[in-house]
Structure 1
């Protein structure tokens, strides 16, 4: 192995890349290494995982306050934000949230039975439905909004407008990259017998 941090000798490309302390690198792109080490990258991933778990916990709290699960709350809010005059379809909600259409159909059915969503046939395709938040659902979301604003302001307290814009762009890019990575992981880990 080449003695530079995080590099592999050119004569043996199959050799595992390692840092100077012998730890296998978890990334190879130079942009993700600091002095040839992946420690900062690993800290970033763990910070993002911790952040994600806190967001999930807050979402569960919002949902619980309305008598819903976290994902039901998220679907309700998503319908509220995406509906136009005629409503929004299951497929659009599923794509927005990165969930399967079948799962969204099941969860929206529960919200309809609770009186928080309404559905009607899509006039342009009678096989599909359009969802809208009911007046009861809108009232519940409006009652939650003051607490939601305060909590969301606290979560993102460290951002100024420039940082917020950059984060919004980066989050969208990271989501696309994560989708590609998940497909790659499904392929690579199935090929290697899930031993990685």
Structure 2
């Protein structure tokens, strides 16, 4: 049996449109095809590996590690001119705050970021990028834009929003599953 033989005629004849009825029906059915779930899991794992490879490439341009690059990217995305608390960066990256503290001290020694106590609470350390790092990241923007356009060319804004929302739902459910599993041990 060919792959497409179980699909309605509209799929076979080149229409990418999925009927609303079929879409709703698919949402109501439990996912029982473990092969499909395994494939999805492997695809996500592969995507993560390629993202890691890109991070490693960009990190090498500054002589740092991939995780250190992620810290710089998190600060770049989150900083609104007053620095970002260590715990906010650690939550975004899903790592322990002590890891961000240790790595940010190394990045500060390399002259790539600043660590300052919060003016409100001296126990809170705020991280910000130095000008040199901001300029370096800006110099990579054209390359990043080209890659982003190539990778996401199949999605319009609405499709990407919907897909990202579904991935966020999966991430949240996986987080809850990890909590459940950890309680069993």
Q: TM-score, normalised by structure 2?
A: 0.79
SS in 2 for 1:86: coil
Cα distance per residue 1:20-66 (max 9 Å; x no partner): xxxxxxxxx95322xxx322111111111111111111111111122
Aligned equivalents of 1:161, 1:101: Cα separation in 2: 34
2:49 matched to 1:50?
Answer: no
Listed as ranges, the gaps of 5+ residues in structure 1 are: 1-28, 191-196
Aligned equivalents of 2:178, 2:129: Cα separation in 1: 32
Of residues 152, 174, 182 in structure 2, which corresponds to 1:186? 182
Deviating more after overlay: 143-152 vs 128-137: 143-152
After TM superposition, the runs of 4+ consecutive aligned structure 1 residues lying more than 2 A away are 152-158, 184-188
* Alignment of structure 1 residues 10-49 onto 2, 5 Å: 30-33=29-32, 37-49=33-45
2:166 matched to 1:170?
Answer: yes
Relative to its length, the structure with more helix (as a share) is: 2
The Cα RMSD (Å) is: 1.6
SS in 2 for 1:40: helix
Of residues 113, 136, 141 in structure 2, which corresponds to 1:140? 136
Aligned equivalents of 2:38, 2:95: Cα separation in 1: 27
Match of 2:93 in 1: 97
Q: TM-score, normalised by structure 1?
A: 0.75
Residue 112 of structure 1: CA displacement? 0.8
Residue 93 of structure 1: CA displacement? 0.5
Listed as ranges, the gaps of 5+ residues in structure 2 are: 1-27
Aligned equivalents of 1:169, 1:184: Cα separation in 2: 23
